[in-house]
Amino acid sequence: MSPTRLLLPLPTDRLPLRLVALVAGLVGYGASIALMLRSDLGVMPWSVLDQGLSRTFGGQVGTWSMVVGVVVLVAWVPLRQRPGLGTIANVVLVGLSINAVLGLVPPAQSTAGAWALLLTGVVLNGVVTGVYVGAGLGPGPRDGLSLGLAARGLPLRVVRTGVELLALGVGFALGGTVGWGTLVYALAIGPIVHRTVPAFHLRTPAERTGAPGPAPAPLH
């Protein structure tokens, strides 16, 4: 099978704009995770896992994000999931961005500073999620895993909750931080992306003429 057939086909409509949105969104996504990490108030479940792996085995959190992304992609194989360009870019760009921003932003020095970093990270995460999901260039490795398992007949909500709780539990056991930030993210991210995903969605020509199109797939 040729490499091009291993990946989802690229949309031809406004491809340069889609690529810019993809890169900007993924770099921003990694930056948002780094801000939450610097707050030390807790992060999203998959980042708790990355942080726990970093604290237990050494290495940077963003590097572990890339390692976990690759492992999750390998799990796609028996599920017969096809990645898109956005899937591959997600593994690389989010991890590199996390490492870069962690190197630039110092840890919070006060409670007020910690909450400022946390809330900025959560809001930024919600906004850039809309940006890169709107690019329409393929699901992220972690969401693709949930979609693949759900395609085997399991309810998507149950699968996604179960997978994220597993990542959270393993990460916490390895020393990742679970705290107020984890709760704030869980409560806030849904309402934020409910607005940002439709706002930044780059519609296809069929959608612009009124024909229904596929729902945008999350990338993380």
pLDDT above 60 for 219: no
CA distance 162 to 109: 35
Answer whether residue 49 is part of any domain: yes
SS3 readout for the chain: CCHHHHCCCCCCCCHHHHHHHHHHHHHHHHHHHHHHHHHCCCCCHHHHHHHHHHHHHCCCHHHHHHHHHHHHHHHHHHHCCCCCHHHHHHHHHHHHHHHHHHHHCCCCCCHHHHHHHHHHHHHHHHHHHHHHHHCCCCCCHHHHHHHHHHCCCCCHHHHHHHHHHHHHHHHHHCCCCCCHHHHHHHHHHHHHHHHHHHHHCCCCHHHHCCCCCCCCCCCC
Residue 216 lies in a domain: no
* pLDDT tens-place string over residues 41-83: 999 999 999 999 999 999 999 999 999 999 999 998 888 888 8
Instruction: Specify the number of domains making up the chain.
Output: 1
Domain-located, residue 54: yes
Asked, for residue 85, whether it belongs to a domain, the answer is yes
Distance CA(133)–CA(151), nearest Å, equals 20
Residue 214 maps to a domain? no
Domain of residue 197 covers 15-202
Establish if 57 belongs to a structural domain: yes
Question: Is the residue at 4 inside a domain?
Answer: no
More confident residue, 1 or 142: 142
pTM of full prediction above 0.85: yes
Q: What is the mean pLDDT of residues 107-123?
A: 97
Q: Does residue 10 lie in a domain region?
A: no
